[in-house]
Amino acid sequence: MKVLITPNIELIETSQLYYEDASVRWVFDTNSSVVRLDTSRKPHTNSEHWISENSDLFSFSENGDLACLELSVPGENHLATFRIDKTITGRIKLHKPVFNVLPTMLRLFDPLGRQLSCFMRPPTKKEALTRVNLGKDFTILLAEDQYFGFELFNPLDYLVGQNDAPLDPDNRAGSDEYRLFAALLDIMSDNTVEALDNDMAAVANELKTNILPHIPSIKSASRKNTVQSSLEDFIDYYA
């Protein structure tokens, strides 16, 4: 199977996980975050921001092989379920040298399934999506063979403050940490900001009251420091 998932990027189906050794990170900040997948290839050609619209970062080597993905995690929470019709493994290749890829608009953080999903638009129950496994715990989603979003499984195990920071595999996140993070993302969302009439001081107070006291329960010292310092910076700025 070969298909253009954007006008400029080609998906090629593979028999096994192609980017198995790629580095995966969720680079977290309270007000914004990105999910990164880095291969060992040297970046040569990047997606570009245009004057009128943003672009997520898709980087490719001189030969058109994937070097890096840096995908923004949107701020709007979306709670509806979605249906995966087919799951494959694959790799992506640059088809044309000048391109941009619009960022996703909605996110779904599932603390029970331990999954972060981001979509270009609301998925419908009738819409059959294809899940393409690219790296360990990292997938992209297709709707009618077009790029529709991405997923990160076990997302808190990949949470860091900087993209070159080490992970902490000996202290994987448990159920309590996933519930805490779901509460954090519920407060720190476009939905809550809109409900509070863009009162960022009120958002900061919600985080200070309902989230910050529970940060010491995070098992990993590195994740704890990342989340706590980010929250404290946000609260100090807006409160």
- Tens place of pLDDT for every residue, the chain, 239 residues? 899 999 889 999 999 999 999 999 999 998 899 999 999 777 677 776 554 457 788 999 888 999 999 999 999 999 888 999 999 999 999 987 766 888 999 999 999 999 999 999 999 878 889 999 999 999 999 999 999 999 999 999 999 999 899 999 999 999 999 999 999 999 999 999 999 999 999 999 999 999 999 999 999 999 999 999 999 999 999 98
DSSP secondary structure, 178-225, as one string: HHHHHHHHHHSSHHHHHHTTT-HHHHHHHHHHHTGGGGGG-S-HHHHH
Q: What is the domain extent for residue 222?
A: 168-238
Whether 203 and 231 share a structural domain: yes
Final residue before a domain boundary, out of 158, 180, 197? 158
Write down which residue in 158, 189, 207 finishes a domain: 158
Is 177 within the bounds of a domain? yes
> Phi then psi for 21, rounded to 5 degrees?
-95, 5
Q: Are residues 142 and 233 in the same domain?
A: no
Domain check: are 15 and 103 in the same one?
A: yes
Q: Is residue 120 part of a domain?
A: yes
Q: Are residues 98 and 77 in the same domain?
A: yes
Among 109, 126, 158, the domain-final residue is 158
**Does residue 117 lie in a domain region?**
yes
> Do 151 and 61 belong together in one domain?
yes
Place of tokens 């900001």: 193
Strand partners, 194: none
Helix-helix angle 175-187:221-238, to 10 degrees: 20
Output DSSP code: residue 156: G
* Number of structural domains found in the chain: 2
Residues 103 and 71 occupy one common structural domain: yes
Domain co-membership, 54 together with 131: yes
Q: What is the pLDDT of residue 80?
A: 82
pLDDT of residue 23: 96
Quickly list H helices, the chain: 175-187, 190-195, 200-210, 221-238
